[in-house]
């Protein structure tokens, strides 16, 4: 998964600490491996609390204040309003927009200038919080046996049907119409409750949003890596073992892996290759890239990918 390859460097540093007992590096390792913190924002009524709940239940560290966050998730619903564009433009951290209550991205969301992922957060929370109790499953089975009018929420609530109105309201509050329709249809086909919950999670697109957050965090992780390397380089001036750690193949290649995450999260492609000729071409390409009109972070990425590729080139039999 894009955004996870920083762990190669974390693991290398952990091995170095275990081998040497150098406690000066422990704080560096802890800062490097701290979770990426996410703030969830958006206009009132778009479902930002539900999105935040779903992300937290999926393992994302959600912080209430943007000032404490490394990334921002900005929640939209239906249309992009001027205040949405203003809020996204004013963010000091990288932003991922989430179009809640939607299974596809539609409309002028590209005008935001940030990645946009669709999500149905209510379905994710229903599954992860175990909100579908025996009473609601029985209600869904009744709907599977005797379909109700699901053309709109109001029609569902007011239609003539033996399912009590309070249970219909609970179903709407838990699954919305899209979840009710999918779950009842699956029960009518004889699907198990476990398989239906798995399908509801898939329809929520929670996992795709988590993957997008992880990818967006690649830049945050890489900046932490650069900060860690700067601290280690300062130590290496008077400590040959730290200098040797920074220079060894595994460390250089781990830095390349983290840099690869950053450029791939930005939509670029890093060739996967193992022949000496291809590795040398890759090194030269990324060396040129880093010398071009790119940000300082991407300049560092270009250098790290080039250096790592040259180490692999040497290991593959390239001339010393």
3-state class (DSSP) for residue 72 = strand
Q: Which pLDDT band, with edges at 50, 70 and 90, does 4 fall under?
A: confident
Q: What is the pLDDT of residues 264-293, one digit of tens each?
A: 998 999 999 989 999 999 999 999 999 999
pLDDT digits (tens, 9 = 90+) for 231-270: 999 999 999 999 999 999 999 999 999 999 999 998 999 9
Percent of the chain scoring above 90 in pLDDT: 87
DSSP assignment of 19-71 equals HH--THHHHHHHHHTSPPEEEEEE-TTS-HHHHHHHHHHTT-EE-S-GGG-SE
The pLDDT assigned to 91 comes to 93
What does the pLDDT read at residue 297?
95
How large a percentage of the chain has pLDDT more than 70?
96
Four-way CATH pick for 38-123+205-210: 3.20.20.70, 1.20.140.90, 3.40.50.970, 3.40.50.300: 3.40.50.300
Position 78 scores a pLDDT of 81
CA distances 277 to 87, 104, 121, 281, Å, are 48, 42, 48, 6
pLDDT at residue 105, rounded to an integer? 63
Q: To 5 degrees, how large is the angle CA 201–CA 65–CA 130?
A: 25
The pLDDT of residue 18? 95
> Model confidence at 205, in pLDDT bands (50, 70, 90)?
very high
pLDDT at 229: 97
What is the token pair recorded at 103?
């299974």
d(CA 197, CA 221): 33
- pLDDT(320) > 60: no
Most confident segment among 23-27, 74-78, 306-310: 306-310
Q: Where in the chain are the domains?
A: 4-34+236-316, 38-123+205-210, 129-204
In this prediction, residue 300 carries a pLDDT of 97
How far is Cα 120 from Cα 230, in angstroms, rounded to an integer? 42
The whole-number pLDDT of residue 80 equals 87
Kindly indicate the confidence band of residue 5, based on its pLDDT and cuts at 50, 70 and 90.
confident
- What is the pLDDT, as a whole number, of residue 112? 81
pLDDT tens, residue by residue, 95-146: 999 999 876 666 556 678 889 999 999 999 999 999 999 999 999 999 999 9
Is residue 57 within 8 Å of residue 35, measured between CB atoms? no
Distance CA 235, CA 185 (A): 63
| pLDDT score for 101 | 86
Does residue 76 register a pLDDT over 80?
Answer: yes
Q: What's the chain's average pLDDT? A: 93
């Amino acid at each position: 998964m894009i955004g996870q390859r920083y762990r190669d460097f974390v693991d290398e540093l952990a091995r170095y600490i275990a081998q040497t007992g150098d406690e000066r590096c422990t704080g560096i390792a802890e800062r490097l491996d701290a979770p990426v913190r996410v703030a969830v924002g958006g206009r009132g009524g778009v479902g930002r609390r539900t999105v935040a709940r779903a992300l937290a239940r999926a393992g994302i560290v959600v912080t209430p204040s943007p000032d404490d966050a490394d990334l921002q998730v900005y929640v939209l619903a239906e249309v992009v309003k001027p205040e949405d564009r203003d809020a996204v433009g004013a963010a000091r951290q990288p932003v991922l927009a989430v179009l809640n209550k939607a299974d596809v991205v539609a409309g002028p969301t590209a005008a935001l200038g940030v990645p946009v992922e669709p999500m149905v957060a209510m379905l994710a929370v229903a599954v992860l919080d175990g909100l579908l109790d025996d009473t609601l499953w029985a209600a869904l089975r009744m709907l599977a046996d005797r379909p109700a009018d699901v053309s709109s929420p109001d029609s569902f609530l007011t239609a003539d049907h033996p399912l009590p109105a309070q249970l219909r309201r609970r179903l709407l509050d838990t699954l919305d119409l899209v979840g009710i329709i999918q779950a009842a249809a699956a029960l009518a086909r004889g699907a198990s409750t476990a398989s239906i919950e798995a399908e509801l999670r898939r329809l929520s697109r929670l996992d795709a949003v988590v993957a997008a957050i992880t990818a967006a965090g690649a830049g945050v992780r890489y900046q932490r890596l650069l900060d860690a390397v700067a601290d280690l380089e300062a130590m290496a001036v008077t400590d040959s073992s730290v200098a040797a750690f920074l220079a060894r193949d595994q460390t250089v290649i781990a830095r390349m892996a983290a840099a690869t995450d950053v450029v791939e999260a930005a939509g670029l492609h890093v060739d996967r290759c193992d022949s000496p000729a291809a590795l040398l071409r890759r090194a030269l390409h990324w060396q040129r890239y880093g010398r071009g009109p790119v940000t300082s972070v991407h300049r560092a990425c270009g250098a790290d990918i080039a250096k790592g590729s040259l180490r692999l080139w040497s290991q593959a039999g390239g001339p010393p």
